Amino acid sequence: MLSDKFWSYFFEIYEAIPRQGPGDRESTERALGLLPPLTSHHRILDAGCGSGTQTIDLARATAAQIVAVDSHEAFVTQLVKRAADQGLGARIQARVGDINELAFADGSFDVIWCEGAIVIINGSFAKGLSTWRRLLVPGGHMVVSELCWLRDDPPTEVKAFFDAEGADVTDMDARRKDIAENGYRLVDDFVLPAVGWWENYYVPLGKALDRFRAAHAGDDEALEVAARSQYEIDLYRGHPDLFGYGFFVFKVPGVDS
Ligand SMILES: C[S@@+](CC[C@H](N)C(=O)[O-])C[C@H]1O[C@@H](n2cnc3c(N)ncnc32)[C@H](O)[C@@H]1O
C-alpha cells in the first residue's frame, strides 16, 4: 500500500509534464484515420485522459463532442484550462471520475479512446475490454494504446518490474486475441514510434525529475519516488525494442456509427 506522501510526490512530478504516458500526435491521428470521419454528432469518451494532450489532439482533428475522465482532479483542471485556452472548451467536457465505474448509459459513445490506462485501471486488458463494451453504440470503435512485449524473451528483472507495477504486459498477438475473444473486430494495429517515448514523455519526465530532486534534496522518501520513475526511464534506455506501446483500433460488430 503506497502512502499519501508517496502519491503527493508522485503527482507533483507527473503534474509537471505535458502527458502522463508515452504517445504522440501523429499516432493519435494515424489511429483516428482508421475510423469513419467523426462529426459533431459523434461522441468520444477519453478514458484516463490525464492532463489531456491526446484529448486536445482528438478535438483538433475531429468535430466530435468529447467526454474526458480521469480520477486525478489536478489533471482534469489542467485539461479544462488547456481546452479553454485553445477555444475547445465547448467540445471537451472534462470530469473527475473512476473509469472502473462509469455511470453512462449503454450505447453512450461512438468511440472509446484510452491511451495507456486500460490495464492500469482494470487490472487486465481483457477486463477493460469487457467492462467498457456496453458503453459503445453498435458499430462503435475502441482505440487503445497499451504496453506490449515486442520480443518474446523479456529479461527477468524487466518482467519483475512490470509485474510489481501490475502492468499485465503481454505481446501484440495476445492483445489481438483478447480483442477477438471479447467480441470486437480488429481494424488495425501498430507500434507507437520511439519519439512517443523519448521526446514526448521520458525527456520531459527526466527534466521534471531533475527539478523535483533539487527541490527535495535530503528528503529520502521524495528521492525514492523519483528513483522509481528514473528506473523506468533507464529500463527503456537499456532495453531498446524490448517493449513498446501497441496501438489497437477495433470495433463492435454492426453498422459504422
Ligand atoms: C499512464 S496515464 C495516461 C494518461 C493519458 N492518457 C496520457 O497518455 O497522457 C494513466 C491515467 O489514468 C488515470 N487513472 C488512474 N486510475 C484511474 C481511475 N480509477 N479512474 C480514472 N482515471 C484513472 C491517472 O490519473 C492517469 O492520468
User: Does 200 contact ligand 1 (Cβ within 6 A)?
Assistant: no
Percent of all residues in the chain with a pLDDT value above 70, rounded to a whole number: 99
Residue 121 has pLDDT above 90, yes or no: no
Tell me, in angstroms, the distance from the centre of ligand 1 to residue 49's CA.
6
What average pLDDT does this structure show over 86-112?
Answer: 97
Alpha-carbon Rg for the chain, nearest whole angstrom, is: 18
- What size, in residues, is the chain? 257
Percent of all residues in the chain with a pLDDT value above 90, rounded to a whole number: 89
pLDDT for position 165: 83
Residue 61 has pLDDT above 80, yes or no: yes
Contact criterion met (CB below 8 Å) for 92 and 59: yes
Q: How confident is the model at residue 129 (pLDDT cuts 50, 70, 90)?
A: very high
Cα distances (Å, whole numbers) of residue 204 to 17, 37, 112, 129, 138:
6, 33, 27, 31, 40
The whole-model pTM stands at: 0.97
Tell me, in angstroms, the distance from the centre of ligand 1 to residue 20's CA.
8
DSSP 8-state symbol, 192: P
Residue nearest to atom 19 of ligand 1 (CA): 98
What average pLDDT does this structure show over 246-256?
Answer: 89
Q: What is the pLDDT of residues 193-237, one digit of tens each?
A: 999 999 999 999 999 999 999 999 999 999 999 999 999 999 999
Contact criterion met (CB below 8 Å) for 114 and 44: no
Q: How confident is the model at residue 44 (pLDDT cuts 50, 70, 90)?
A: very high
Q: Structural domain boundaries of the chain?
A: 22-197+242-251
Q: Which amino acid is at 134?
A: R
Mutation pick for ligand 1 pocket among 19, 20, 202, 245 (CB with most ligand atoms within 8 Å): 20
| CATH superfamily, domain at 22-197+242-251 | Vaccinia Virus protein VP39 (3.40.50.150)
**Three cell numbers written together for 164:** 510489481
